Amino acid sequence: EAGVVQSPRYKIIEKKQPVAFWCNPISGHNTLYWYLQNLGQGPELLIRYENEEAVDDSQLPKDRFSAERLKGVDSTLKIQPAELGDSAVYLCASSLGRASQTQVGNEQFFGPGTRLTVL
Amino acid sequence: AQKVTQAQTEISVVEKEDVTLDCVYETRDTTYYLFWYKQPPSGELVFLIRRNSFDEQNEISGRYSWNFQKSTSSFNFTITASQVVDSAVYFCALSDPLQGAQKLVFGQGTRLTINP
């Protein structure tokens, strides 16, 4: 079974330029996550999707970050314009969706991430 | 708010030594999940274990074992007879029940280096 696919693996851009990251989750996984991982830190959630709906985007800097998950499968995370402080690894993860309130704690499967360097 | 603390930033041991990675968590909730993930140099986080708050039994999987103690809010991870391939960054994480347990709060990670 294929894992979570992300592209590109590496991206170097100059500040103020736009950038986009793409994620293809594991087939059948309804829940998709985007995380930000700064150097030497644990991942921090940016946004979570349940199918097409963004159910938690409280940590997403909406002035420059946007995300979409059309058709409830692939997702794109965009930054426009990028700033120096955006240099980090952007991780995508997926998990089975909640069938009920009792179905909790599903493990999340992570992709390899996109390492962004803003110069 | 939920919080996970991994006080050990880096650990370095010689191959075949046993090593324990500490994880202390904070939560006001009675129902929650704890996780351990491994992040090798390739960057992909690999799921190791999930433990719910009602199950305090320790678990062993090969050379890996986990000690969950609610009394001290700890969920420690021990690797027995470590190998070079165990070198990675290890993250402990706590689920946030307010988000339906789908939101993970990660610790800062412990970088483990196993020297031959």
Q: Using one digit for the tens of pLDDT, what is the confidence trace for A47-93?
A: 999 899 998 888 899 999 999 998 889 999 999 999 999 999 999 99
Contacting residues for A99 by C-beta, under 8 A, at least 6 apart:
none
Residue of chain B with shortest Cα separation from A92? B44
Token pair, residue B86, equals: 């165990």
- On the question of pLDDT at B116 being above 50, the answer is yes
pLDDT, tens digit (0-9, with 9 covering 90-100), for A4-53 = 999 999 999 999 999 999 999 999 898 999 999 999 999 999 999 989 99
> Can you name the residues that pair with B52 across neighbouring β-strands?
B33
Taking CA–CA distances from B39, the nearest residue in chain A reads A112
Q: What distance in Å separates the CA atoms of residue B93 and residue B49, rounded to the nearest whole number? A: 10
Task: Look at residue B93 in the predicted model and tell me its pLDDT.
Answer: 95
| Tokens coding A99 | 């069938």
Looking at the predicted structure, is the pLDDT value of residue B97 above 90?
A: no
Residues of chain B with pLDDT > 90, as a percent, come to 70
pLDDT over 70 percentage in chain A: 91
Whole-angstrom distance, CA of residue B85 vs CA of residue B9 = 19
**Is the Cβ–Cβ distance between A67 and A60 less than 8 Å?**
yes
Q: What is d(CA B4, CA B104) in angstroms, rounded to the nearest whole number?
A: 10
Min distance B47 CA to chain A CA atoms (Å): 7
Task: Pick the residue of A107, A109, A115 with the most B CBs within 10 A to test the interface with B by mutation.
Answer: A107
Interface of B with A (CB under 8 A): 4, 9, 31, 33, 35, 37, 42-47, 50, 52, 91, 93, 95, 97, 99-104, 106-109
Q: Are B79 and B64 in contact (CB under 8 A)?
A: yes
Nearest to A73 by CA among A21, A110, A24: A24
- In chain A, the DSSP E strands lie at 5-7, 10-13, 19-24, 31-37, 44-50, 53-56, 65-68, 75-79, 88-95, 109-110, 114-118
Q: Identify all chain A residues contacting B104, using CB atoms and an 8 Å cutoff.
A: 43, 45, 108
φ, ψ at B17 (rounded to 5°):
-75, 155
pLDDT at B110 over 90: yes
Cβ atoms of residues A27 and A1 within 8 Å: yes
Tell whether the model's pLDDT for residue A101 goes beyond 50.
Answer: no
Q: pLDDT grade, residue A1 (50/70/90)?
A: low
What pLDDT does B58 receive? 84
Encode pLDDT of B48-57 as tens digits. Answer: 998 888 888 8
CB contact under 8 A, B103 and A93: no
Chain mean pLDDT for chain A: 90
Band of the pLDDT at A100, cuts 50, 70, 90? Answer: very low
| pLDDT value, residue B109 | 97
Which has the closest alpha carbon to B50: A96, A48, A36, A38?
A96
Higher pLDDT, B44 or A118: A118
Could you give the CA distance from residue B37 to residue B55 in angstroms, rounded to a whole number?
19
CB nearest to B102's CB, from A31, A110, A115: A31
The answer to whether the CB atoms of B4 and A42 lie below 8 A apart is: yes
Encoded tokens for B95: 């689920």
Maximum CA pair distance of chain B? 44
Q: What is the pLDDT of residues B9-48, one digit of tens each?
A: 999 999 999 999 999 999 988 888 899 999 998 888 999 9
